[in-house]
Amino acid sequence: DIQMTQSPSTLSASVGDRVTITCRASQSISTWLAWYQQKPGKAPKLLIYKASSLENGVPSRFSGSGSGTEFTLTISSLQPDDFATYFCQQYNSYLYTFGQGTKLQVK
Amino acid sequence: QVQLQESGPGLVKPSQTLSLTCTVSGGSISTGTYFWSWIRQPAGKGLEWIGRIYSTGSTNYNPSLQSRATISLDTSQNQFSLKVTSVTAADTAMYYCARGRGGEFDYWGQGTQVTVSS
């Protein structure tokens, strides 16, 4: 299995901050990586696919970058609606795996 | 707008079979462009991909379920289903159905909680 490790596990920030979440793969996955946002009691929502492609309807303050084994999700200016948990997911192999999640909370 | 909705028993006894159905609206599951997956999430934990099925009926599963999972299609009802045999408390989770695109999941159901308990 390809292991996905996110850091940090918890991130405290304020509205307007620029925040970055990192996801590392245990082996190269090229750019086969997606990012999701999940709010309590809700299903995950796709934000970014193929490492840096923004899903339709997702605000442009979200961006993704990286390739190989290291990836980042950046929120350029945090909005109140952005406090949630974020997951990365690799799809380089058919055995899809997710990171353990990063909880973005109010500072 | 594509929508997915899970249904099935919320409580399953240990050693029995968990059965869930996902009804898809707003699009056909027979479209070859996509695949259909089940994903689960124990309370307070991360996401685990269970398996996928294509419109051809071809399937792939996560080996972590040790061959206990089966996914099937019912194109006449525009549904796909999940069965997990010999369940234990470790199978207690929120179960989501989702549409796969290139490998990412672009549409998800709201999820259904399944508890394994006697």
**Residue range B67-82, pLDDT digits in tens:** 999 999 999 999 999 9
pLDDT score recorded for residue A7 = 97
Residue A55 DSSP symbol: P
What are the tens digits of pLDDT across the range A35-54? 999 999 999 999 999 999 99
| A96/B103 Cβ within 8 A | yes
Tell me the nearest-neighbour CA distance from B71 into chain A, angstroms. 15
Written as six digits, the tokens of A85 are: 């948990």
Flag whether residue B95 sits within 8 Å of chain A, measured between CB atoms: no
Residue position matching structure tokens 């442009």: A60
Measured CA angle at B89 (ends B86, B90), to 5 deg: 90
Which candidate from A43, A50, A95 shows the least CB-CB separation from B110?
Answer: A43
What does pLDDT average to over chain B?
96
Query: B50-62 as b/e, with b when 16 or more CB fall inside 10 Å?
Result: bbbbebeeebbbb
Enumerate residues 6+ apart whose C-beta is below 8 A from A34.
Answer: A46, A47, A48, A49, A50, A88, A89, A91, B103, B104, B105
Mark yes or no for CB contact A43/B46 under 8 Å.
no
